[in-house]
Chain A
C-alpha cells in the first residue's frame, strides 16, 4: 500500500496515499492525493491530522452522494477537499489519481486555493502551488 511523498509545492509535501487510514501526525499541512473514497469516515481520518488539501476518489457518488460527503464535512472544519471521478482513476490507487485523475467536485475551501472541478489532479496541485510562498533554501 503506497504512502509516499513524490514532490513538494513550496515547503509542503505532496503525498500519494492509497488509503487515508495511513495518515499520521507528520502529514499535517500536506497535500494528500488519496485512493480512498470521499465518504464521511475518510473525512474523519483527514480531520485527525488536517492536511492543506486532500483529494479522494468520488466512488461514483452513489447513495445520497456518500462518496463525496467528506467535502462538506471538511469545508465545515476549514480543510480543503476535492474528489476525482471514479471513471478517471482507479479507487484505492493514489498513483492513478495523481497521473489520470480528473476532479469531479471541489469544496469551497479547495476553490479558495484555485482547485476547480474539471481540472486534472496535477493542474489542481499546481494551482495550490501558485498560492504558496517559495520554499526556503
Chain B
C-alpha cells in the first residue's frame, strides 16, 4: 500500500468460504456485482447512504462497511436501516479498527461498531471482530 505508487489496485476478491457462502472483499462498494447475490460482502467504503444505494442494487446476504467515525447525523452508519428495508443484514466496523477504503482491513481487523436489526437477529454483536462473527454464524471455522 504505497500512497505514491502509480498503480493502486482496487481489491475485489473472495477471501474465504464460510459454509455455503463466499466472503467477498471489495475496497469500494461500487464494485459489488450481480454475481454477489447471496454472498457476504466486506467493504472498505463508509456506511453512508450512497454506499447503501450501491449495496442495495444486488440482493447480497450480508454487508459490512467502515463506520467513518459515524460523524454528523450518524451519516457513517446511515445505510444500515436503508438496507434493512431491503432485507440485507448490514453492519459497520469502527474506523479506529480498520483503515477506511481497505476491505482486507475490514475483514482482518474490523471490530463491529453498529448493526441493523436483521444483523442482531442473525447473531452479530457489537464489539466482536467481524471475521470471528462471520465464521461463528455462518460456519466453516472454529473461533
Contact = CB atoms under 8 A, between A and B. Distances in A.
B48 interface: yes
B118 to A, nearest CB: 21
A40 B72 contact: no
With most chain B CB atoms within 10 A of its CB, the pick from A1, A18, A39 is A39
A86 B139 CA distance: 37
A52 interface: no
Main secondary structure of the interface of B (DSSP, over half): loop
Q: Is the interface of A mostly helix, strand, loop or mixed?
A: mixed
Given A18-B50, A63-B96, A63-B99, A41 B28 contact: yes
Given A21-B30, A76-B3, A86-B76, A59 B99 contact: no
Contacts of B10: 41, 44
Contact of A41 (B51, B70, B71, B102): B102
A91 B72 CA distance: 8
Contacts of A93: 48-50, 75
B10 to A, nearest CB: 6
Interface residues of A, number: 37
Contact of A39 (B4, B71, B72, B100): B100
17 contacts: A35-B48, A37-B46, A39-B100, A43-B3, A44-B8, A59-B69, A62-B69, A63-B96, A63-B99, A63-B100, A66-B100, A69-B3, A73-B8, A86-B68, A90-B48, A91-B76, A93-B48
